[in-house]
């Protein structure tokens, strides 16, 4: 078979698998939005079937043959051409998936179900000992997975690579270490400041309809396309894209707190803008029209949530609109109070509720814990103590129990090991991209203050979204910013804001 014919057949097959997978994506969205409770068991069967059919087709002999037929041909010589990037990324996924014996995949799936059930119970009862055997089993299986996949340097690399292509433990550690001490110091300074954010202005009664109206207004203003998307309500906010022209985000409304829904909408809208900016019209299902990594995805959500949405200039434009929507509720609140309130910094136990500064320390703790557990430097029984020590050391607080400590997140019970670093990688990339966008576009704050968000969006579209998986995350960062991944832009941003608001 000629390489060109093999490539065409490969893309045809990949596209069909992607369409099938997108049906599974809709099943997932529906499961969390509108599915009646009685359908849960059947939905499990549907999702499992779609996942199996996709896996079977993606790891088939046919795929292997087609990939082999194009390998080394002129067509794929340029790693960053359409064909070169597509084939490289497909080959990487094919190798990973075919290296895993189906017995291991099945055992992981089975363990994940039991482990999540047990985790939920253990968390409720606050009994780590219940969860411990499942955490041990999960980590054992992850070690087996890493051995099957293979790695050059650190066992962690084989797992991390699944979420962040080509990233390594060494690479993460290097950049995280330059972040850690500075953050710890900053948190300490802020805690010592006499200035306190007036968070009570956010804790008033905000009717759901008004919150929704205002959030939709903001999502539209930053460019979310409702013609090709929706906003619905779920227990946990998420963004899902069940097809070309179809990107759906969800949020939840707390009528006694403004911040929850609004910032989660900005966050999910950031993910959604990335999905809406991928070239799915022409290349649906091909890697060049798919997001490249969780870290880069998170860089988009965190940029709109924090760098844009918590900026003074954003509220210069939006606070008068908030006043118009919420009327008497915030009649007595000044813009200055509002901006300070949405930028409150204080150490807390739960990562998902953490502010912009302390958030990364939660992530660093997970990363250090995962490394220690995987390499068996830390035994499972010692996890709670080690966890609590780190919280004391980095955040100055000690979790009152393991439910609010090492059992707070679903990730470990779900087998998501090597996943946490992508949250902070996202924050790092977001600051680095944002700094470069400012250099390229001029005064972003002046634009935001006038409600002009399209220059930034178009810059992201051109430099990041439209690239899909053409480059590895690190390559993309370098190509866009001219710099290696680094902590400085994020630290600069956080320190500058702390100086302004807390005077530290």
Could you list the residues that contact a second copy (CB under 8 A)? 16, 19-20, 22-24, 26-27, 30, 33-43, 45-46, 49-50, 53, 225-230, 232, 242-246, 248, 284
The residue (of 2 and 226) whose beta carbon lies closer to a second copy is: 226
Name the β-bridge partners of 251. 233
For the chain, what percentages of helix, strand and coil (3-state, to nearest 5) are there? 70, 5, 30
Query: Cβ of residue 204: shortest distance to a second copy, in angstroms?
Result: 27
If the CB atoms of residues 45 and 194 are measured against a second copy, the closer one turns out to be 45
Query: Is 476 buried (19+), middle (13-18) or exposed (0-12) by CB count in 10 A?
Result: buried
- Which of helix, strand or coil describes residue 230? strand
Quote the CA–CA distance of 395 and 349 in Å, as a whole number.
9
- Report in angstroms how near the CB of residue 61 gets to a second copy at its nearest: 19
CB of 212 closer than 8 Å to CB of 232: no
Spell out where 252-399 has E strands: none
In DSSP terms, 211 is beta-bridged to none
| For a second copy, the closer CB: 198 or 228 | 228
Q: How far apart are CA 190 and CA 194, in angstroms?
A: 9
Minimum CB separation from a second copy for residue 58, in Å?
A: 15
What's the closest the beta carbon of residue 272 comes to a second copy, in angstroms? 11
3-state secondary structure of 207: coil
Helix, strand, or coil (residue 350): coil
Of residues 227 and 331, the one with the C-beta less far from a second copy? 227
> Which is the catalytic residue, given 145, 164, 268, 275?
268
Q: 31 or 440: whose CB is closer to a second copy?
A: 31
What residue has token string 């960062």? Answer: 477
Cα-flanking dihedrals φ and ψ of residue 477, to 5°? -60, -45
- Is 356 catalytic? The answer is no
Looking at the Cβ atoms of 41 and 332, the one nearer to a second copy is 41
- What six digits make up the tokens of 280? 């799915």
Whose CA is closest to 387, among 365, 363, 357?
365
Q: In what helix (H) or strand (E) does residue 4 lie, and over which residues does it extend?
A: helix 3-33
DSSP 235-247: SS--EEEEETTEE
Q: Determine the 3-state secondary structure of 459 from DSSP.
A: helix
| Min separation Cβ 501 and a second copy, Å | 39
Residues serving a catalytic function are 268
């Amino acid at each position: 078979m000629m390489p060109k014919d093999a490539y065409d057949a490969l893309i045809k097959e990949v596209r069909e698998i992607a369409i099938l997978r997108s049906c599974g994506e809709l099943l997932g969205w529906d499961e969390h939005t509108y599915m009646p409770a009685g359908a849960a068991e059947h939905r499990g069967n549907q999702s499992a079937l779609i996942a199996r059919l996709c896996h079977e087709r993606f790891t088939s002999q046919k795929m292997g043959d087609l990939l082999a037929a194009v390998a080394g041909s002129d067509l794929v010589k340029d790693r960053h051409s359409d064909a070169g990037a597509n084939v490289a990324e497909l080959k990487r996924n094919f190798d990973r998936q075919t290296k895993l014996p189906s017995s291991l995949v099945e055992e992981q799936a089975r363990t994940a179900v039991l482990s999540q059930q047990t985790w939920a119970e253990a968390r409720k009862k606050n009994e780590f000992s219940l969860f411990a055997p499942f955490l041990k089993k999960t980590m054992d299986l992850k070690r087996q997975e890493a051995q099957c996949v293979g790695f050059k340097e650190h066992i962690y690399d084989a797992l991390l690579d699944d979420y962040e292509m080509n990233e390594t433990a060494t690479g993460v550690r290097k950049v995280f270490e330059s972040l850690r001490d500075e953050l710890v110091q900053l948190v300490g300074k802020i805690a010592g400041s006499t200035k306190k954010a007036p968070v009570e202005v956010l804790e008033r009664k905000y009717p759901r309809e008004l919150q929704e109206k205002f959030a939709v207004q903001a999502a539209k203003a930053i460019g979310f396309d409702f013609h090709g998307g929706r906003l619905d309500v779920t227990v946990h906010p998420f963004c899902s894209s069940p097809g070309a022209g179809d990107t759906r985000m969800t949020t939840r409304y707390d009528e006694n707190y403004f911040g929850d829904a609004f910032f989660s909408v900005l966050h999910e809208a950031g993910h959604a803008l990335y999905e809406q900016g991928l070239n799915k019209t022409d290349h649906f299902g091909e890697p060049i029209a798919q997001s490249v990594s969780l870290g880069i995805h998170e860089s988009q959500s965190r940029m709109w949530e924090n760098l844009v949405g918590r900026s003074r200039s954003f509220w210069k434009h939006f606070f008068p609109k908030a006043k118009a929507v919420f009327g008497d509720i915030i009649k007595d609140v000044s813009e200055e109070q509002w901006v300070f309130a949405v930028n409150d910094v204080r150490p807390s136990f739960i990562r998902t509720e953490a502010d912009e500064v302390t958030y990364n320390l939660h992530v660093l703790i997970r990363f250090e814990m995962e490394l220690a557990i995987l390499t068996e430097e830390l035994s499972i029984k010692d996890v709670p103590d080690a966890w609590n020590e780190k919280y004391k050391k980095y955040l100055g607080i000690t979790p009152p129990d393991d439910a609010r400590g090492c059992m707070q997140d679903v990730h470990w019970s779900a087998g998501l090991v090597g996943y946490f670093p992508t949250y902070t990688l996202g924050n790092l990339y977001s600051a680095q991209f944002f700094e470069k966008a400012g250099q390229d576009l001029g005064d972003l704050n002046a634009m935001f203050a006038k409600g002009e968000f399209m220059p930034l969006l178009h810059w992201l579209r051109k430099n990041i979204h439209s690239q899909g998986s053409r480059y590895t995350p690190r390559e993309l960062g370098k190509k866009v910013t001219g710099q290696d991944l680094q902590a400085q832009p994020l630290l600069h941003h956080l320190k500058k804001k702390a100086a302004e608001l807390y005077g530290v």
